[in-house]
A and B are shown apart, each in its own frame.
Chain A
Amino acid sequence: MPMTLTEKILARHAGLDAVEPGQIINAKVDLVLANELSAAVAIGVMRQMKGADRVFDREKIALVEDHFVPAKDAQSAKIAKLMKDFAVEQKIKHFFDVGRGGIEHVVLPEEGLVAPGELIVGGDSHTCTYGAFGAFATGMGSTDIAAAFVLGEVWLKVPSSIKLVYNGKPGEMVFAKDIMLKTVGTLGIDGATYRAIEYHGTTVDELSITGRITMANMAIEAGAKNGIFHADAKTIAYVKERTDRDFLVEKADADAHYERVIEIDISSLEPQVACPHTPDNVHPISEVTRDEILVDQVFIGSCTNGYIEDLRVVAEILDGKKIDPRLRVIVNPGSQKVWMQAAEEGILGKLAGAGCVVNTPGCGACFGGHMGTLGDGERCISTTNRNYVGRMGSPKAEVYLASPATCAASALTGRITDPRVAAAVTA
């Protein structure tokens, strides 16, 4: 039976020759991820399960301190410690505290913990990021993660797949983020609920690994269970630099069945912006800048756009200039490795020189946790992935989502700005 890429990976992990959409399977997992928030609840659940004293494999679990660290307050310190103590007790091999890790979804690929054809579940909705590497990866809640910790398997309903085919060469200042915002705007925030997204086309073939990460990361913003790319030579080179374990590159059958096939032409796409208060409220920048939209904060970072490639784009736009005086600009490199690379390339100095604050890697600002929380009436343009009411702090704040280039251009002017005219801005 012909199968999609997602179906192939699920079938192999369930020990079956074939699976079809709607089928319930028990699948073996290659890696289980949790951060201190999802782990705190999962560990509590595991403690209540009879016979669940040990994790199934101490080398197939990754625990990353990233949401409220360095600890925002005593309660945050308590849950960070809870996970750390668990990691020590269970001899978890891949435990990342501050200073050695960063944002979970930036860290895991960097550390070679993600490879094509693998099945990964994580206690974080953006676990779908690893689809960038041709893996099946999906987010779950803490009870499911506790089950995966001890069983090394999860029950899954095989999703039907939506095939997205992108063609055309992106124009000036159009990035993977713009392509994905356009995609979420096209599908809607429940347009792919319970579905797999499979990315195809010449545009994505040309994308860097980072670009694919940005796109896979936001599959959940359309409600998808997972978003997946085919691994190619770029993927294999990236993974082999980081791990020597074996992996199997799967490929969708040419006659696989897709619930929908959507073609998206990128050649005429402008930079895109998701306006408040849903990630699918997406408009081209020329439409958004018709009104003057002043902002109070620019945020650059997150599991969507906290990568070295993103920081290079921002540094190039801000180099030798000053950010608008009434603004604050917060930059969070996605991981310790990204931070060190940015330091080595002189990027951190350029950003600080322009007036940005460069924070430690972490998720805090993106979800309204700490280190960049918005107040009543404030407006932020951000490279993150969600802009629901209250997402970055006050329910009376507004969040616009855009690419690092659009955010950097807006940092120079203090208002939402088309990055294609940023070069002309004198600051």
Chain B
Amino acid sequence: MQASLRGRAHKYGKNVDTDVIIPGKYCNIIDIAELGKHAMEGLDPEYTAKMKPGDLIVADSNFGCGSSREVAPIAIKGSGTSAVIAKSFARIFYRNALNIGLPIFESPEAVDAIDSGDELEIEPAGGVIRNLTKNQTYTAAAFPPFMQSLIDAGGLQPYVEKRLAEKA
């Protein structure tokens, strides 16, 4: 079971694409910490300087659109960001985030209410998002059952190992 996630919100608009999350020139980097230094650089070059470990990205719809680069969620995770809350996620980013263990939450209600700088706390298990600054509570959409079973199993890797064992 994941621990609760807590930090300040950094709010962005809609269609935050992978080119701004981690610009192409950094895509030959594999090291997670090094990638983390450039998270969100194309959109907000100050992001990694102003954020503290545990902080959250809050964004409008279609977060992570564009390329399939898995280094996009890896860079966000590497920066110390604890989670992303958005109204919706682009398809490949959504899979990648779950596969690498970056917590993501879909909640239009939360995105509309949260302002940059608000202190947030999330209980991942129930998808409960608390805004400690505004004293409000929001609910994130539940993951589809298959996705939830992957998350509960610890991601795609254990799932693959189980399938391999079945085939052997």
Binding site for B on A (CB under 8 A): 24, 37-38, 40-41, 44-45, 48-52, 67-68, 72-73, 75-76, 79, 122-125, 127, 139-144, 146-147, 150-151, 153, 155, 157, 189-190, 193-194, 223, 225, 278, 367-369, 373, 386, 388-391, 393, 395
Contact = CB atoms under 8 A, between A and B. Distances in A.
A190 B93 CA distance: 13
User: What 9 A-B pairs are tightest by C-beta distance, nearest first?
Assistant: A141-B96, A141-B70, A367-B24, A143-B99, A390-B42, A368-B24, A190-B62, A125-B68, A388-B19
B91 A194 contact: yes
A85 B146 CA distance: 35
B110 to A, nearest CB: 19
A389 B19 contact: yes
Given A38-B70, A51-B161, A367-B67, A189 B62 contact: yes
Nearest to A82: B30
Contacts of A223: 62, 65, 90-91
Contacts of A153: 163
A369 B168 CA distance: 41
Contacts of B24: 367-369, 390-391
**Which residue, B29, B157, B159, has most C-beta atoms of chain A within 10 A?**
B157
B69 to A, nearest CB: 7
A386 B42 contact: no
A143 B96 contact: yes
Interface of B: 15, 17, 19-20, 23-25, 27-30, 42-43, 61-62, 65-71, 74, 88, 90-92, 95-96, 99-100, 144, 146, 155-157, 159-161, 163-165, 167-168
B99 A388 contact: no
B28 A75 contact: yes
A73 to B, nearest CB: 8
B161 to A, nearest CB: 5
A63 to B, nearest CB: 16
Nearest to A373: B25
Contacts of A123: 68
